[in-house]
A and B are shown apart, each in its own frame.
Chain A
Amino acid sequence: MSSISRFLTSRWGPIITGLVVGVLAPVLVKLGNPGNMGICVVCFNRDIAGALALHRASVVQYIRPEIIGFVLGALIAALSFREFKPRSGSSPLVRFLLGMFSVFGALVFLGCPWRAYLRLSGGDWNAIFGILGLIAGIGIGIGFLKMGFSLGRNRPAPKALGWVMPAIMVTLLVLLLLAPQFGRDADGNLTGPIFFSTTGPGSQHAFWAMSIAVGLFIGFMAQRSRFCTVGAIRDSILLRDNRLLYGVLALIVAAFATNLALGQFHAGFQNQPVAQTNEWWNLGGMVLAGLAFTLAGGCPGRQLFLSGEGDTDAGMFAIGMIVGAGFAHNFSIASSPAGPAAFGPITVVVGLVICIVIGLTMREAKI
């Protein structure tokens, strides 16, 4: 077991993790997940928000077991290798906001960095603009880091605090399996409080046990290998360290090959699954998301893995993503295949201004 761990923490770890994600994500599409969405941390949080009725967009409501698996898989890895270290206190409220704004940006593009790479691997060329935006956003974030930006230090916390995010995930799993219906609609029919889509992307999913198994496996591997789809670009530019970047490249290559093998590669800009073709806002949305992820220290997947290790500040970011996804649909921010929504572009601009203010003002407090 420890030799596997040593391998995963070596320079090969992110590559193996990327290969595993690159194969399993298109397989999940084959097993029922939406097109080019074998794994999308933001989209899946959006579906969870919908299932909990934080928004009522009826086509994107499902409690995605992959998210639950990510956190619990990372928890198992952290417990197995003595890395479960509950901690808190590094600007949790700002991290909550960054989680919200990252989702606003990503839902204008229609995908997190994981899905941007997976969309590219499936032949969706709109992803190119999203990835360029992501790189630009990370670049801006690096500028703030070099200027001394910091969300401050976390502190060791009581063991119990580290179990809160895993407990929330177990609760989501129970809600997925029981799907309680005790609300009433205007006609007196049973409805909610848990909602699952009957049409649209929310209705498309692999069998839950398969989804959670994949999530647990990736969560375990990624906790050990420190896989991060934003850190990959950040470390390459900032530290000239390509360890994580090779992981992302492995993901893209493996997903491309798997999509080809499964007949899921369709090159072009038009008629791509759960995608819109406005290149400027595909780019702009991901500038915002890339900046917010960089200021928070990692991609949405990494935030989930960290929350499984006991990092409750990363947990706040993850909860911010779910709440933000609710707002994104209620306030007409999230795009649809028809294009950007009414308030998507202005929200990207406002979000960028707020993230820039955060980047300029947050410094480690001197005690």
Chain B
Amino acid sequence: MGNIKTVDARGLSCPQPPMLTQEALHKMGNGTLEVLVDSDTALENVSRLAKNSGWKVTVEDQPDSSYRIILEK
């Protein structure tokens, strides 16, 4: 877990969180991606996008009410 790639999409408008995630997932092909978001809408959109392309989604609530989404394949 020491060197995983991160997409920080906190504070960005639609559709940038899922779009940046999609770009990163395409580049990686497989592995582990960490996506940081701070709205429930972005959490839903990123999770749905990743699940639809076969990635395992794990969500961790952060103390500042943002979310850390771990995507694995």
Q: Which residues of A contact B (CB under 8 A)?
A: 9, 81, 83, 85, 87, 89-90, 145, 150-156, 226, 228, 231, 234-235, 238-239, 241, 243, 296-298, 313
Q: Which residues 24-70 of B have a CB within 8 angstroms of A?
A: 38-41, 44-45, 48-49, 52, 65
Please judge, given known A-B contacts A85-B39, A238-B19, A239-B49, whether A297 and B14 are in contact too, CB under 8 Å: yes
In the assembly, what is the distance between CA of A313 and CA of B52, in Å? 31
Known: A81-B40, A83-B39, A235-B18. 5 other contacts (CB 8 A): A90-B11, A145-B19, A152-B11, A228-B14, A298-B14
- Taking a contact as CB atoms under 8 Å apart, the answer to whether B15 and A153 are in contact is no
- Taking a contact as CB atoms under 8 Å apart, the answer to whether B19 and A297 are in contact is no
Identify the 3 closest CB pairs spanning chains A and B, nearest first: A153-B11, A297-B13, A154-B11
Contact of A145 among B10, B15, B39, B65 (CB under 8 A): B15
B27 nearest CB across to chain A (Å)? 14
Q: Can you show 14 pairs from A to B with CB atoms below 8 A apart?
A: A145-B19, A152-B11, A153-B12, A156-B38, A226-B41, A226-B44, A228-B14, A231-B14, A235-B18, A239-B19, A241-B49, A297-B14, A297-B15, A313-B13
When distances are taken between beta carbons in the complex, the residues of chain A under 8 Å from B15 are 145, 231, 234-235, 238-239, 297
In the assembly, what is the distance between CA of A272 and CA of B15, in Å? 35
- Taking a contact as CB atoms under 8 Å apart, the answer to whether A150 and B22 are in contact is no
When distances are taken between beta carbons in the complex, the residues of chain B under 8 Å from A313 are 13
- Taking a contact as CB atoms under 8 Å apart, the answer to whether B11 and A155 are in contact is yes
- Taking a contact as CB atoms under 8 Å apart, the answer to whether A90 and B13 are in contact is yes
Please judge, given known A-B contacts A87-B11, A226-B44, whether A150 and B16 are in contact too, CB under 8 Å: yes
Closest to B44 in A: A9
Q: Which residues of B contact A (CB under 8 A)?
A: 10-16, 18-19, 22, 38-41, 44-45, 48-49, 52, 65
In the assembly, what is the distance between CA of A85 and CA of B42, in Å? 13
Closest to B65 in A: A85
- Taking a contact as CB atoms under 8 Å apart, the answer to whether A241 and B48 are in contact is yes
When distances are taken between beta carbons in the complex, the residues of chain A under 8 Å from B38 are 85, 156
Closest to B53 in A: A240
- Taking a contact as CB atoms under 8 Å apart, the answer to whether B13 and A151 are in contact is yes
B43 nearest CB across to chain A (Å)? 10
When distances are taken between beta carbons in the complex, the residues of chain A under 8 Å from B10 are 153
When distances are taken between beta carbons in the complex, the residues of chain B under 8 Å from A238 are 15, 19
In the assembly, what is the distance between CA of A151 and CA of B15, in Å? 12
B15 nearest CB across to chain A (Å)? 6
When distances are taken between beta carbons in the complex, the residues of chain A under 8 Å from B12 are 150, 153
A145 nearest CB across to chain B (Å)? 6
Closest to B21 in A: A239
In the assembly, what is the distance between CA of A313 and CA of B19, in Å? 21
Closest to B18 in A: A239
B49 nearest CB across to chain A (Å)? 6
B55 nearest CB across to chain A (Å)? 14
- Taking a contact as CB atoms under 8 Å apart, the answer to whether B11 and A145 are in contact is no
When distances are taken between beta carbons in the complex, the residues of chain A under 8 Å from B22 are 239
In the assembly, what is the distance between CA of A282 and CA of B34, in Å? 44
- Taking a contact as CB atoms under 8 Å apart, the answer to whether A243 and B48 are in contact is yes
When distances are taken between beta carbons in the complex, the residues of chain B under 8 Å from A151 are 13
When distances are taken between beta carbons in the complex, the residues of chain B under 8 Å from A150 are 12-13, 16
In the assembly, what is the distance between CA of A313 and CA of B13, in Å? 10
B71 nearest CB across to chain A (Å)? 15
Determine which residue in B15, B19, B48 has the highest number of CB atoms from chain A within 10 A of its CB, and name it. Answer: B15
In the assembly, what is the distance between CA of A235 and CA of B13, in Å? 13
A298 nearest CB across to chain B (Å)? 6
In the assembly, what is the distance between CA of A255 and CA of B5, in Å? 46
When distances are taken between beta carbons in the complex, the residues of chain A under 8 Å from B39 are 83, 85
In the assembly, what is the distance between CA of A152 and CA of B45, in Å? 19
When distances are taken between beta carbons in the complex, the residues of chain A under 8 Å from B52 are 241
When distances are taken between beta carbons in the complex, the residues of chain A under 8 Å from B49 are 239, 241
In the assembly, what is the distance between CA of A231 and CA of B45, in Å? 12
B65 nearest CB across to chain A (Å)? 7
